[in-house]
Copies of this chain bind each other. A is one copy, B any other.
Amino acid sequence: MITLYDSRLSGNGWKVRLLLSHLGIPYTRQVLNVAAGEQKNPEFLKLNPLARVPVLLLEDGTAISESNAILFYLAQGTPFLPSGRADAARVMQWLFFEQFDHARFLARPRFLVAIAKQEEKFKDEIEYLRQIGQKALAALEAQLARTPFVTGNQYTIADTSLYPYTSMAEMGGYQLAAYPAVCAWLERVRSQPGFIPLFVE
């Protein structure tokens, strides 16, 4: 069976668990306590020298890190990643957008404000990150005003990837009410078969 190394609060881990649930793939979940630094244990560093979750460990011992690379791995040959060359590239386009423009700028304010509770200490950094994150939300809004899902009419891993940190953006001080098409899309994603919340306990 495959093993997912994850943490309790990681939006990147949630992406992978969402897709595994959509696909009905069984897996073992290993939850690392990142607050206690377990991602820096020598055994885990062998799987991902960057010391971060998620990592997907295959039965043959191959470890895949970077949440979107794991989505790509799992989605090949399924409806979540179209098989046409240009259609697949369109999905990848949004996965790279998510990494370049979106994830860090939504995830780190969430961490600093709602998890570490250090908004005051890091307020300059948070303001800088939010300027970039707001542009990403505006770009997502413009796309979702035109199509029900990120790449068109079908739910793909572009939606799976963009959902977690967008849905938790307000924890980092963003106001999602300013993005009505994004809000409607969040509901649409939540209604997909196999959707699971961050906490399933």
Residues of chain A touching chain B, judged by Cβ–Cβ distance below 8 Å, are 49-50, 58, 62, 64-70, 72-73, 76, 85-86, 88-90, 92-93, 95-97, 99-101, 103-104, 124-125, 128, 139, 142-143
- In the bound complex, do residue A65 and residue B86 qualify as a contact, i.e. CB atoms below 8 Å apart? no
From B69, B89, B90, B101, give the contact of A96 (CB < 8 A): B69
- Given contacts A70-B89, A76-B88, A100-B103, 10 further A-B pairs with CB under 8 A are A49-B139, A66-B97, A66-B100, A68-B92, A69-B96, A72-B89, A73-B88, A73-B92, A96-B96, A128-B128
Shortest C-beta distance, A77 to chain B (Å), equals 8
Is chain A's interface secondary structure helix, strand, loop, or mixed overall? Answer: helix
- Given contacts A86-B64, A125-B128, A139-B49, are A104 and B100 in contact (CB under 8 A)? yes
